[in-house]
Amino acid sequence: MPNPTCAILIIGDEILTGRTREGNAHHLAGELVKAGFDLRQIRVISDDHPTIVAAVRELSGTHDHLFTSGGIGPTHDDITADAVAEAFGRSIGIRDDARAILAAHYAARGVEFTEARLRMARIPEGASLIDNPVSGAPGFSIGNCHVMAGVPNIFQAMVAGLLPRLAGGQPLLSRNWQMMVAEAAIADALRDLAAAHPAVSFGSYPFVTEGQYGTNLVARSTEPAALDAAFAALQDAFPEGR
Amino acid sequence: MPNPTCAILIIGDEILTGRTREGNAHHLAGELVKAGFDLRQIRVISDDHPTIVAAVRELSGTHDHLFTSGGIGPTHDDITADAVAEAFGRSIGIRDDARAILAAHYAARGVEFTEARLRMARIPEGASLIDNPVSGAPGFSIGNCHVMAGVPNIFQAMVAGLLPRLAGGQPLLSRNWQMMVAEAAIADALRDLAAAHPAVSFGSYPFVTEGQYGTNLVARSTEPAALDAAFAALQDAFPEGR
């Protein structure tokens, strides 16, 4: 059975304006590979209600899982929860369980539970909560869409709680073989290797270090035996690598 | 007149498998802001022919410009040029001008001009070339789609050559105001500011440093006078910032 397919949707003008370099998708991509999910797309869009609704509908409809990051805080530009509710045709309002989590979190820290903070208890009808061990305010899953915070340490904590609850597949395994030759010099042999090992995908990634051209060859597969055979053939073909 | 809209399409399994943290879109996003382009979407997809064709058609059809990164090297997984040609209904083959550029580049360095390297002279019919001062092999523009390399220093050099040739609009200006208070504490006042300054967008970005909560408020506008007025109001509203 093929691994479940996924998309990641990053919601945030701060990425599109070049202010912030995206890191949440990179983190989640690495976790998904290990847990046996097939990440097909990452998309970054702006904090715009109709844009979020359309992207959530499209990506949740074409993938087994959709993970979102960003836009669930207390301010006026945090509109993700409302947009996701609309995308799934659900109502949204303050939910008692989310309010209780926030109330306990703030009480334990002597922080006032203000109207703005209460906004973070707005959860679509029928969603299940995603635990936020960092700052209290929960994420949520609705259908196949998992809505998480954009602040990196909170996002990572939510991912750590969520992923074990989802049924993954076979981890994508990879082996790396580095050579100090230009990519073009190994292109023909690599094409032949790829054709001979259809269960393995081969990627080649050129780099320059201290003025020397080099290439990283990466073999990837969910089948350990196929990857072993392909990697042995790769080492035979390019004995100068390491 | 509104600024031209743009999308960035990153083609590369190495991003989706978590191997590489994407940086080209971040670089280009910053350059686009300065040059007066409105970046609406960043999308990362895999090295898969039909996926690239569909994404190029969709994103070039819905934006004034589409910039792509990755997949134009000499190896079997470099399929971007062929996919872009198909998306625009053009034929593709070795082009004399691109071959001449590569021949001169390799001759000057005493490097053999192999069959694999000749593959990088494959350019869609009717495309104009994008200069590659780093490693010779050109990118190209076809219609509103600008196809560039994925290797970061080559990508950046291509962007530097390409952007001045495109007609941009008003640079998006921004001002940052940092406060050591939690985001929720300023949410109401920020909402009022945003409502009072419709030509300015306000973003709030929480952070934690040395255990203290803080918030960066960013005001953005293409209109300098509107931004000045909004930022003055922001400073008045939150005199504790800096």
Nearest Cβ partner of A26 from B18, B27, B32? Answer: B18
**Which residues in chain B have their CB less than 8 angstroms from residue A153's CB?**
208
User: Are the Cβ atoms of B25 and A22 closer than 8 angstroms?
Assistant: yes
User: Residue length, chain A?
Assistant: 242
The answer on A184 and A207 residing in a single domain is yes
Q: Give the gap in angstroms from C-alpha A173 to the nearest C-alpha of chain B.
A: 10
Asked, for residue B154, whether it belongs to a domain, the answer is yes
Chain B residues 136-165 with a CB less than 8 Å from chain A = 151, 153
Give mean pLDDT, residues B22-44.
97
Alpha-carbon distance of B11 to B51, in angstroms, equals 10
Task: Give the Å distances, CA to CA, from B69 to A9, A104, A236.
Answer: 19, 47, 32
User: Are the Cβ atoms of B15 and A29 closer than 8 angstroms?
Assistant: yes
In 3D, which of B52, B50, B65 has the Cα closest to residue B8?
B65
CB distance from A7 to chain B under 8 Å? no
The answer on B96 and B31 residing in a single domain is yes
The answer on B102 and B199 residing in a single domain is no
Handedness of CA B20, B26, B27, B29 (dihedral sign): positive
Choosing from B127, B143, B165, the residue where a domain stops is: B165
Nearest Cβ partner of B26 from A18, A51, A207? Answer: A18
Asked, for residue B200, whether it belongs to a domain, the answer is yes
**What tokens appear for A43 in the block?**
């998309």
**Which residues in chain A have their CB less than 8 angstroms from residue B6's CB?**
none
Asked, for residue A78, whether it belongs to a domain, the answer is yes
Q: A20: nearest CA in chain B?
A: B26
Q: Give the gap in angstroms from C-alpha A76 to the nearest C-alpha of chain B.
A: 6
CATH number, domain with residue B144: 3.40.980.10
Q: SS3 of A160, please?
A: helix
| DSSP secondary structure letter of residue A167 | -
Residue A61's contacts (CB-CB under 8 Å, 6 or more residues apart) are none
Asked, for residue A192, whether it belongs to a domain, the answer is yes
Chain B residues 79-108 with a CB less than 8 Å from chain A = none
The answer on B179 and B143 residing in a single domain is no
The answer on A233 and A152 residing in a single domain is no
Task: Give the Å distances, CA to CA, from B47 to A26, A43, A155, A217.
Answer: 17, 16, 27, 15
Place of tokens 């609009």: B169
The answer on B73 and B106 residing in a single domain is yes
Task: Give the Å distances, CA to CA, from A147 to A154, B11, B182.
Answer: 12, 25, 21
**Which residues in chain A have their CB less than 8 angstroms from residue B45's CB?**
40-41
- β strands within B29-130, DSSP E: 38-45, 65-69, 92-94, 122-124, 128-130
- By the 8 A CB rule, do A95 and A85 touch? no
The answer on B34 and B151 residing in a single domain is yes
**Which residues in chain B have their CB less than 8 angstroms from residue A31's CB?**
18
The answer on B111 and B86 residing in a single domain is yes
**What tokens appear for A12 in the block?**
């945030």
Q: Is the predicted pLDDT of residue B159 greater than 90, yes or no?
A: yes
Q: Give the gap in angstroms from C-alpha B13 to the nearest C-alpha of chain A.
A: 8
pLDDT confidence of residue A84: 98
Q: What is the ipTM of this complex?
A: 0.92
How many domains, in total, are found in chain A?
2
Q: A175: nearest CA in chain B?
A: B19
**Which residues in chain A have their CB less than 8 angstroms from residue B136's CB?**
none
Asked, for residue B242, whether it belongs to a domain, the answer is no
Range of the domain at A205: 174-237
The answer on A106 and A198 residing in a single domain is no
- Please give chain A's pLDDT, 242 residues, in tens: 789 999 999 999 999 999 999 999 999 999 999 999 999 999 999 999 999 999 999 999 999 999 999 999 888 889 999 999 999 999 999 999 999 999 999 999 998 999 889 999 999 999 999 999 998 999 999 999 999 999 999 999 999 999 999 998 999 999 999 999 888 888 889 999 999 999 999 998 888 888 788 899 999 999 999 999 999 999 999 988 88
Question: CB-side exposure of B160: number of CA atoms within 13 Å?
Answer: 9
| DSSP secondary structure letter of residue B146 | E
**Which residues in chain B have their CB less than 8 angstroms from residue A191's CB?**
75-76
Q: Which residue out of B3, B13, B14, B17 would a mutagenesis test of the A interface target, given it has the greatest number of A Cβ atoms within 10 Å?
A: B17
The answer on B225 and B125 residing in a single domain is no
Task: List the strands of the sheet with B5-11, edge to edge.
Answer: A128-130, A139-142, A145-148, A65-69, A5-11, A38-45, B38-45, B5-11, B65-69, B145-148, B139-142, B128-130
The answer on B150 and B183 residing in a single domain is no
Asked, for residue A123, whether it belongs to a domain, the answer is yes
**What tokens appear for B82 in the block?**
């062929």
The answer on A196 and A104 residing in a single domain is no
Give mean pLDDT, residues B55-81.
95
Asked, for residue A98, whether it belongs to a domain, the answer is yes
Asked, for residue A242, whether it belongs to a domain, the answer is no
Give mean pLDDT, residues B134-139.
93
pLDDT confidence of residue A61: 98
Q: Give the angle subtended at the CA of B51 by the CAs of B45 and B56, to the nearest 5°.
A: 85
Please count the other Cβ atoms lying within 10 Å of the Cβ belonging to residue B20.
19
User: Are the Cβ atoms of A114 and B44 closer than 8 angstroms?
Assistant: no
Choosing from B114, B137, B165, the residue where a domain stops is: B165
CATH number, domain with residue A233: 3.30.70
What does residue B98 show for φ and ψ, rounded to 5 degrees? -70, -40
Alpha-carbon distance of A186 to B82, in angstroms, equals 21
User: Are the Cβ atoms of A151 and B207 closer than 8 angstroms?
Assistant: yes
Give the DSSP H/E element, type plus range, for residue A108.
helix A96-109
Choosing from A103, A136, A165, the residue where a domain stops is: A165
CB distance from B49 to chain A under 8 Å? no
User: Are the Cβ atoms of A205 and B18 closer than 8 angstroms?
Assistant: no
- By the 8 A CB rule, do B3 and B64 touch? no
Q: Which tens digit of pLDDT belongs to each residue from B184-217?
A: 888 889 999 999 999 999 998 888 888 788 899 9
